[in-house]
Amino acid sequence: MDPETVCQHLFISGHVQGVYFRASLESTARTLQLAGWVRNRRDGRVEAMVQGPAAAVESLVQWCHQGPPAARVDAVQATAQPVDPTLVALHCVATA
């Protein structure tokens, strides 16, 4: 992995389900060429693991503070994680 590659574990809270947040995050992450996954949580949050160049990951984290037009984001919690070479193009996974 490139030394500039970073991985962030995200929890996004607010009105973020039923507003195409996951699909919009997936599309934005693919545009930024990020790897990882995104899913809804039963507690109403959206959770994601995103990995790629530091600047692209930071761009996605900033995007998460607003999300798609119908979303209302209350908080974004981002925690650095070790780089995971098994992560591939970002995709949606099952609710947890």
Active-site position among 30, 40, 41, 72: 40
Annotated active-site residue 45? The verdict is: no
Annotated active-site residue 42? The verdict is: no
Q: Is 35 exposed, middle or buried (0-12, 13-18, 19+ CB in 10 A)?
A: buried
| Residues contacting residue 63 through CB under 8 Å, at least 6 positions apart | 25, 28
Active-site position among 22, 30, 42, 45: 22
Provide the annotated active-site residues.
Answer: 22, 40
